[in-house]
Chain A
Amino acid sequence: MKAAVIVFPGSNCDRDMAVALENAGAEVTMVWHKDAELPAGVDVVGVPGGFSYGDYLRCGAIAANSPVTNALKAHAARGGYVFGVCNGFQVLTEARLLPGALLRNAHLKYICRTVPLTVATTDSAYTSAYEKGATINIPIAHHDGNFTADAETVAMLEGEDRVAFRYGANPNGSTGDIAGILSANRRVLGMMPHPERAAEASQGNTDGKGFFAGLVSAIIPA
């Protein structure tokens, strides 16, 4: 399985994401934001966490209009897999690949700690390795993770089983405790928590390993 990880100026979780994908069996290429094309034959594109373009204007707003993002949109439009973590989730909402937006945390504080998440659906490559309703502990580290969308959009996400993860104890004010969502075709996922920071024993927590294992095994049929 071929994966690409996009690197924007200010990305800082790109290498962790690449290592987690490699450990799960993917062949990973790093792609610079100025590249107008993704490597040929890429199955999955990861949009990492960090502070792309210094969070100028709005988190993810400039990245959502960079050259590589046009290639990313084309990849998603032809049914390719795309996932964004933290700033990556913000980029995907700004690029309109996912609905809603991420506002400043309700209590205005930057939060950096491990939180319990509930796996809300197993109907996606990303969540297929988990049991539905399982609780996993995954680190969060964000200032703008307060997911918001209008009532119609939230009802659509809920009705179409497109909430991937929910917070056990809502840390940031997100509507419906939503921590991660899926696109209509279930191949684009955005989430604020960082599974790549909990994907091997040396990190002290392997609850995020199933995210990458599920993704890689869903794309390479056994």
Chain B
Amino acid sequence: MKARVFVMLKNGVLDPQGEAVRHALGALGFDGVQGVRQGKVIELDLAEGTSEETVKEMCEKLLANTVIESYRIEL
């Protein structure tokens, strides 16, 4: 089974890379890009029957730094 983990900087934490991408889009002539947030997607190939609880534990212990990041799991 596959799981996807989406990791994003928490709202309120400045995302300088997202800001740089927003500026670059503006420079390319794309008007109206009001905000860009950059995150990561982690794909996990897991043994059948792995619980969401276990994936959550992986996120808490390693995949996300919950001081600055939030995460969402898609099984």
Contacts and interface: CB of A to CB of B under 8 A. Distances in A.
Contact of A103 (B13, B20, B61): B13
Interface residues of A, number: 19
B63 A103 contact: no
A61 B20 CA distance: 24
B20 A108 contact: yes
Nearest to B13: A148
Interface in B1-55: 9, 13-14, 16-17, 20
Contacts of A65: 61-62
A83 B16 CA distance: 28
A103 B16 contact: yes
A74 B69 CA distance: 26
Nearest to A99: B67
Say which size band chain B's interface belongs to: 10 to 19
Residue of A100, A101, A105 most packed against chain B (CB within 10 A): A101
Given A61-B62, A65-B62, A101 B67 contact: yes
Contacts of A173: 14, 16
A101 B17 CA distance: 16
A94 B16 contact: no
Given A57-B62, A61-B62, A103 B14 contact: yes
Nearest to A65: B62
A107 interface: yes
Nearest to B64: A58
Interface string A135-151: 00000000000101100
Contacts of A103: 9, 13-14, 16, 68
B68 A148 contact: yes
Interface string A114-146: 000000000000000000000000000000001
Given A57-B62, A65-B61, A104 B16 contact: yes
Contacts of A107: 16
Nearest to A58: B65
Interface of B: 9, 13-14, 16-17, 20, 61-63, 65, 67-68
Interface of A: 57-58, 61, 65, 93-94, 99-101, 103-108, 146, 148-149, 173
